Amino acid sequence: MAVSFTRGVTRQVVSALRHVFQQGDYSDPFYGDLYIGTQYRLEQGRFPMIVISYRPSYVRNAGLGLSLRLADADTGEEKTFYRWRSEGQVVFNVLALNPYERDTLVDNVIDVIGFGQHADSGAAEGRFLQQLTDGDFVALTPKNEDLQFSDMGAAQTPWGSENDLMFQGAVFMDAVVEFYSDSRVGDLVPISKINSWPYRAADQPVPTGEDGTWGS
């Protein structure tokens, strides 16, 4: 299945959070059925929830026209793969049906993404960073020691009267993302498919450039 750039980032964050909250050993069992995803599911019975989004500030080629000519690991066909780099913010949008529950979940998100790296070995909170930095399609480096927050707010729910409110808050985490794309279709390429080795002048001929690589 094709994977786009932003979807590759958000699904990796969602997967990492689910490994913390939904494995049955998180310190607060209340969050065992917590909805974590990329879409707002604003139905009764879904709250509280964490909705993940990614806001890139830029996306650019990781070098001066950097590309790799490699054989596709599946088909053997030679293709051009481009390496890209992005910086932006991962947004953890928290929604709940009362302000106490919203604030408590925001605190739990901070515990996981900010303090989880210092958790005891085997603790559920520690799995977030392990899973986050071990993705199939993107290499994600979180800047999780400098978190930002949005103003806490409230909005009317899609159901009920004007007195039925949902309470919102968000945690922002800066991140650096690198990935490879297939030149023909633009989809992300699994990192495991990219196998390259440095040029060794002592025992390798000088590349001539005839196959699109650099040369003399």
- Token pair, residue 208, equals 């001539």
pLDDT at 148 over 60: yes
The domains located in the chain, with CATH, are 5-60+84-175 (3.30.70)
pLDDT at 70 over 80: no
What is the structure's pLDDT at 193?
58
User: Is 85:177 a contact under the CB 8 Å cutoff?
Assistant: yes
Q: What is the mean pLDDT of residues 43-49?
A: 86
What is the structure's pLDDT at 1?
42
What is the structure's pLDDT at 94?
95
Q: pLDDT for 162-181, tens place per residue?
A: 778 999 999 999 999 888 77
What is the structure's pLDDT at 89?
95
Q: pLDDT for 53-67, tens place per residue?
A: 999 998 887 765 566
Cα-based torsion angle of the residue sequence 15, 21, 26, 29 in order, rounded to the nearest 10 degrees? -160
Q: pLDDT for 87-114, tens place per residue?
A: 999 999 999 999 999 999 999 899 888 8
Q: pLDDT for 194-206, tens place per residue?
A: 555 555 556 655 5
- Pairing mode, strands 78-96 and 67-71: antiparallel
What is the structure's pLDDT at 195?
56
